[in-house]
Amino acid sequence: MKSQMEKCDKNKNITNSTNIKPSDECVSKKPWVSIPLKPGVYIFRDLKGKAIYIGKAKNLRKRVKSYFQGKNRSNLYNKPAGFAGLINSIDYIVTTNEVEALILEGNLIKKNTPRYNISLKDDKSYPFIAVTGNEKYPRVFLTRNRNIKGAKYFGPYTETRAVRKVLEYLRKIFPIRDCKRPVPGKGRKGPCLNYHMGLCPAPCSMEVDENDYRKNIEYIKLFLKGKDSSILSNLKSAMKDYASRNEFEKASIIRDRINDINRLYESQRIFFDSSEAWDFIGLAREGSTSVVSMFAYRNGNLAMVNNFVLENTIHLENEEIIPGFIYSYYEDMNNLPSIIYIPEEISESRLIKEWFKKKKGRSIDIRAPLSGEKKRIMDMAVNNSRLYLEKKKFEKDTGHSQAYRDLIKLKEVLGLKNIPRRIECYDISNLKDTFPVGSMTVAYDGKLASQDYRRFRIRKVRGQDDCRMLEEVISRRLRYLKKPFKVEMSGFFGKPDLIVVDGGKAQFNTIHRVLKNEKLDNEIDLAGIAKKEETIYCSRFGNGIKFDYGMDYARIIIKVRDEAHRFAVNYHRKLRDDYMTNSLLDGIKGIGEKKKQYILQSAGSLKYLKNMSADELMNIKGISCRDAEKVFRSLHR
């Protein structure tokens, strides 16, 4: 057994490393002997040195020792059988107290994401309101990005549309800039349209004093914290001050702001007094997955419901899951509740309170309601988490998500034989009879799968005959389904559930014959979309039907059809440009295949080549001054 001492952080915490054998023999080696009887964090590592579990302890030696002693040592902290045998080395960091250990544990888990620690996944990426802090003229905007440097966050919020309206209204009351640049107005010659509409004070043109601008930002932050009374009090004082100095125009502007805030607060009760805020945490679990439902009550009203999925909880008790969720969720929160209600009493309540005090500078109470109104709300939260867990389990087992529901609806509306999980769409692009090409784009479970796209050079068909070109392309594609090494739903060998052709009745009938000849008409569905009329043809609607393209299920087909058109047109243009560029360079004395290749690689496109000067041509590798002159004269003849 080897020990190694090294410096850790500014608090002079000590990191020790103890190496042990990766088997149950490690029990006799007693790897805990050199570990001190002090609070801190322990890190179990595997043979590769990867952290597999990080924990905190009031007494490091006793906690680590417990993993290796006794008949049921693997299950003592609800770890899988043989867990001790996975541990190859133990690192530990001594801290001053248990709260410091708790904070350090959270930071290390976030950084290392160990396999056997709780993994918190917010089932939805709920938006936050961000207020930037490191800019001369800060911004306020809705975002799902929680990593903006110096930003302060408020939320999360479930009603995105309502929050956008509130922000829009707040900008009218407290004008601030809406541009996305960290430096306002960069690249502009004058104020934007928002300034002329009275929605922006135009810091880009120095039309506003920096202190006045920051006052507006502070008012917005107060509003988002629920401190409406503070805002109104400050504004009323400012209004009286202006009126006493006979500055009635400025006083009237403040009066209008007060009226606007009162109207906004009456109509949009999204933000509430944070001093009267509670969060209820309901928990349900099954197998390795747990769900936490959070009911956020503000000023006595249910303001928000969030559902969170926690993985890796099969070996954990509620005593560990609830604190683990609290530390993960509230780590980056600014607008905290005054009370957090939990479904049952836990021994770590005192430690959680101390963590909040040290980490956030706030005293937050942790309670388990036993009766009355709070107990009914908790029951509702627990029931919601149970229902949500059942929903997630059903979705996992059946693939039944929103996209899946759209595909089911598409199947019902068009009368398809299959659920169209893999959709392939084909389009043809040519100019008269020059450079005819075909494209295949793919959507899998409603999402474009660009890795499966393919493009085709038309080999057999001459002239402008879209039907025969589609027949050639799809016949070539279907040959791959006969390969013995076909991989289901994968790449070019995956069988489509639905083939969509960009065209009307003639194209639909042509490809229907192809599928029939290949004896695939009972396995693969077919649809055609006529561009101009936006009419869809399928087995149920042989003469076509106008589709409601505003529906989500219909947008899936439109998306893959538009992508096929784009893909085909781009390929056609590339071939045409390559040919024209080659033609222009052919016959120039002294420009052989090698030099032509250098020019094509440097130019990239015909348009860029034609715009190149003689000096730019001369800078191309392998091109002399005389060569550049010849090419330039030829291009501009």
The pLDDT tens digits of the residues spanning 17-39 come to: 555 443 344 444 566 777 888 88
Band of residue 336 on the pLDDT scale cut at 50, 70, 90: confident
Least confident range from 322-331, 391-400, 417-426: namely: 391-400
Calpha distance 203→183 (Å, rounded): 9
Nearest to 424 by CA among 407, 404, 448, 405: 448
| pLDDT at residue 342 in the model | 92
Tokens of 146: 């929680």
| pLDDT at residue 1 in the model | 31
Q: What are phi and psi for residue 199, nearest 5 degrees? A: -100, -5
Specify which of 52-66, 131-145, 248-262, 414-428 reaches the highest per-range mean pLDDT: 414-428
Question: Do 278 and 263 belong to one domain?
Answer: no
Question: In Å, how far from its chain's centre is CA 624?
Answer: 51
Contact status, residue 171 vs residue 178, Cβ threshold 8 Å: yes
CATH of the domain at 624: 1.10.150.20
Question: In Å, how far from its chain's centre is CA 183?
Answer: 26
SS3 call for 410 = helix
Higher per-residue pLDDT: 197 or 452: 452
Q: Is residue 599 part of a domain?
A: yes
Q: Is residue 17 part of a domain?
A: yes
Calpha distance 258→78 (Å, rounded): 57
Question: Do 435 and 565 belong to one domain?
Answer: yes
Where is the domain boundary, 536, 554, 574? 574
Adjacency order of strands within the sheet including 40-45 = 3-7, 14-19, 89-94, 40-45, 51-57
| pLDDT at residue 216 in the model | 85
CATH of the domain at 466: 3.30.420.340
| pLDDT at residue 503 in the model | 85
Q: Is residue 508 part of a domain?
A: yes
Q: Is residue 123 part of a domain?
A: no
Range 210-239 burial, b when 16+ CB lie within 10 A, else e = eeebeebbbbbbbbbbbbbeebbebbeebb
Question: Do 608 and 538 belong to one domain?
Answer: no
Q: Is the dihedral of CA 454, 460, 463, 466 positive or negative?
A: negative
List of residues 6+ apart from 376 with CB closer than 8 A: none
Nearest to 95 by CA among 12, 33, 34: 12
Least confident range from 130-134, 367-371, 427-431: namely: 427-431
CATH of the domain at 27: 3.40.1440.10
Where is the domain boundary, 337, 371, 396? 396
Enumerate the H helices of 268-400 as residue ranges: 318-330, 349-360, 372-398
Higher per-residue pLDDT: 405 or 578: 405
Q: Is residue 581 part of a domain?
A: no
Q: How far apart are the first and last CA of the chain?
A: 83
Q: Is residue 370 part of a domain?
A: yes
The pLDDT tens digits of the residues spanning 191-225 come to: 776 776 666 777 877 667 788 888 888 888 877 77
Where is the domain boundary, 117, 148, 183? 117
List of residues 6+ apart from 119 with CB closer than 8 A: 113, 310, 311, 312
How many Cβ atoms from other residues are within 10 Å of residue 462's Cβ? Answer: 9
Specify which of 17-21, 143-147, 295-299, 624-628 reaches the highest per-range mean pLDDT: 624-628
Task: Check whether 400 has a pLDDT greater than 70.
Answer: no
Contact status, residue 403 vs residue 419, Cβ threshold 8 Å: no
Higher per-residue pLDDT: 500 or 221: 500
List of residues 6+ apart from 634 with CB closer than 8 A: 584, 585, 588
Contact status, residue 175 vs residue 220, Cβ threshold 8 Å: no
Burial (CB count within 10 angstroms: exposed 0-12, middle 13-18, buried 19+), residue 527: buried
Higher per-residue pLDDT: 190 or 452: 452
Q: Is the dihedral of CA 91, 92, 93, 98 positive or negative?
A: positive
Give me the domain span that covers residue 32: 3-117
Q: Is residue 365 part of a domain?
A: yes
Task: Check whether 509 has a pLDDT greater than 90.
Answer: yes
pLDDT (average), residues 340-361: 87
| pLDDT at residue 84 in the model | 73
Question: Do 454 and 556 belong to one domain?
Answer: yes
Task: Check whether 526 has a pLDDT greater than 90.
Answer: yes
Hey, which residues does 441 pair with through a beta bridge?
425
pLDDT (average), residues 50-62: 85
Question: Do 503 and 537 belong to one domain?
Answer: yes
* Percent helix, percent strand, percent coil in the chain, to nearest 5: 45, 20, 35
Contact status, residue 325 vs residue 346, Cβ threshold 8 Å: no
| pLDDT at residue 79 in the model | 62
- State yes or no: cis peptide before 156, omega within 30 of 0: yes
Question: Do 472 and 334 belong to one domain?
Answer: no
Question: Do 161 and 214 belong to one domain?
Answer: yes
Inter-axis angle of helices 228-244 and 248-267, nearest 10? 160
Range 169-200 burial, b when 16+ CB lie within 10 A, else e = bbbebbbbbbbeeeebbeeeeebbebbeeebb
| pLDDT at residue 425 in the model | 93
Question: Do 155 and 171 belong to one domain?
Answer: yes
| pLDDT at residue 229 in the model | 62
Task: Check whether 521 has a pLDDT greater than 80.
Answer: yes
% of the chain residues with pLDDT over 70: 74
The pLDDT tens digits of the residues spanning 279-327 come to: 899 999 887 788 888 887 776 666 667 788 887 777 778 888 888 888 8
Q: Is the dihedral of CA 466, 467, 472, 473 positive or negative?
A: positive
| pLDDT at residue 28 in the model | 43
Nearest-5° angle of CA 360, CA 361, CA 363? Answer: 100
Task: Check whether 543 has a pLDDT greater than 80.
Answer: yes
Calpha distance 339→364 (Å, rounded): 6
SS3 call for 105 = helix
pLDDT (average), residues 42-54: 85
Band of residue 501 on the pLDDT scale cut at 50, 70, 90: very high
| pLDDT at residue 525 in the model | 93
Q: Is residue 241 part of a domain?
A: yes
pLDDT (average), residues 473-488: 72
Hey, which residues does 141 pair with through a beta bridge?
130
Report the 3 state secondary structure along 190-219: CCCHHHHCCCCCCHHHCCCCHHHHHHHHHH
> How many separate domains does the chain show?
5
Contact status, residue 104 vs residue 41, Cβ threshold 8 Å: yes
Question: Do 565 and 628 belong to one domain?
Answer: no
Q: What are phi and psi for residue 102, nearest 5 degrees? A: -60, -45
Question: Do 569 and 434 belong to one domain?
Answer: yes
| pLDDT at residue 514 in the model | 92
Hey, which residues does 180 pair with through a beta bridge?
none
Task: Check whether 485 has a pLDDT greater than 80.
Answer: no
SS3 call for 418 = coil
Task: Check whether 486 has a pLDDT greater than 90.
Answer: no
| pLDDT at residue 13 in the model | 47
Least confident range from 57-61, 455-459, 566-570, 627-631: namely: 627-631
Task: Check whether 272 has a pLDDT greater than 80.
Answer: no
Question: Do 99 and 135 belong to one domain?
Answer: no
Least confident range from 25-34, 170-179, 269-278, 312-321: namely: 269-278
Question: Do 91 and 170 belong to one domain?
Answer: no
Tokens of 155: 């939320």
Calpha distance 527→507 (Å, rounded): 10
Contact status, residue 502 vs residue 426, Cβ threshold 8 Å: yes
Integer CA distances (angstroms), 9 to 36, 40, 392, 466, in order: 18, 13, 42, 70
